[in-house]
Structure formats: C-alpha cells, structure tokens
Amino acid sequence: MLLRDGALTVRPLRDGDADTLLRWLTDPRVLEFYEGRDAHFTPEAIREDFFDGELSRCIIEWEGIPAGYLQYYPLDGEGRAEYQFDGPEKKLWAADQFLGEPSLWGKGLGRRFLRLLLSHLFEEAGAEAVLLDPHAGNERAIRCYERCGFRKEKLLPAHELHEGEWRDCLLMVCRKTSFPQTNIPERRSDYAK
C-alpha cells in the first residue's frame, strides 16, 4: 500500500529503513513518548521488533525524506479485550505511530498522515472504528488525535510499562460514522502487489 497527499507519502517499510529507525529510536526526545528513554535499541532489536510479524508497517515521508513510523492492524477479540473496547463496532483497527524527526513536530504533519490513514481504513479496508491508546499525559498527541476525529472513550489505568512505571493511557476512538469528512486533505491511494 502506498498513500499520498502532496508532499506526504505513507509507504511500506523497507530493509533500508533499519538505520533510520535506529537513529530515531536512540533519540531521547522520541523515546520519551515511544517505548521510553530506558529502551535500548540495537540493529538486531530493530530487525526483530520492526521487520518480523504480520502488522502493516510503514514509513511516513515528507518531501521524500523519512519523517516517522506507522503500524496498523485489525483487532480481533483478544485485541478488543486488550483495549477494553466495548463499542458495537465489529471491524476494528488499531495504530501506533511516531514522528521521528523532532524538527517536524508541531507543523501539522501528524494530522495529515493520520487523516490519510483513517480515510484509507474507512474507505478501503472496511473499518468501522480505529483505536489508539496514547499515554494520558501526552497532551500534544492527544490534541492531534482529537483534531483528526478521535474521541476519548475511557482511561486505561496502568496500561503500559514505560520507563519502569505502569502508565495510564487513554482509549481514543475514531468511528467511521463520525469521521470528519470536511478538511480531509485530497489524497491518492496507490496499491502495489
């Protein structure tokens, strides 16, 4: 899958992206919000954590330069239980993401790629709802998610081990029925086999 919106591209992860991921995941500014500053990534850990498995793993590019990481996946009954989701929707997806280039933070790029992903999941993948579980104290991310149509559903107490502590997270949900259809950037989807 390849998604585009002007200078923004979301493309599949490639073998050559391992060095970029390692650079991002050894930056304490990124680790503060993703995995924790006590995480120790090595080239081997990057290969094991990001190149194995069945998730859809992508690189977010801005003007042809890698800018961030995105993974998204359908949720089954076990995933639904992990997120403590009790809504009526059956076709659920979840996503995890980060912008690895701090110089791009606060410029609206997060909103752009999330709206592009949501459009794809709702229109092409048949999603009825998309779930996120940011740390309850990650105010910048929560504001971004709310601007994309996510709503706070509930507090998930002690949901994620982060920097040696169990941290509260928020269950945030964007439903297809309430996805903001206005102000969505124009996009083009290309699918590669």
Q: For residues 92 and 79, is the Cβ–Cβ distance under 8 A? A: yes
Phi, psi of 153 (to 5 degrees): -100, -45
Q: Comparing C-alpha atoms, which of 121, 125, 108 is closest to residue 185?
A: 108
Q: With bands split at pLDDT 50, 70 and 90, how would you rate the model's confidence at 1? A: low
Q: Sheet containing 151-162: give its strands across.
A: 151-162, 165-175, 129-132, 92-99, 65-75, 56-62, 8-12, 2-5, 188-190
pLDDT confidence of residue 53? 75
Q: For residues 51 and 45, is the Cβ–Cβ distance under 8 A? A: no
Vertex 99: Cα angle to 98 and 103 (nearest 5) = 155
pLDDT in tens, 143-170: 999 999 999 999 999 999 999 999 999 9
Dist. CA 173–CA 180, nearest whole Å? 13
pLDDT confidence of residue 112? 94
pLDDT confidence of residue 189? 39
pLDDT in tens, 83-127: 989 999 999 999 999 999 999 999 999 999 999 999 999 999 999
End-to-end CA separation in angstroms for the chain: 8
pTM of the model: 0.88
Statement: residue 82 has pLDDT above 70: yes
Alpha helix segments (H runs only) across the chain: 18-24, 28-31, 43-50, 77-82, 109-123, 139-147
More confident residue, 79 or 22: 22
pLDDT confidence of residue 78? 87
Statement: residue 175 has pLDDT above 90: yes
- The mean pLDDT value for 139-145 works out to 94
pLDDT in tens, 56-80: 999 999 999 999 999 999 998 888 8
pLDDT in tens, 30-59: 999 899 999 999 999 999 999 977 789 999
pLDDT in tens, 178-192: 886 544 444 333 323
Both tokens assigned to 111: 């909103």
pLDDT confidence of residue 68? 97
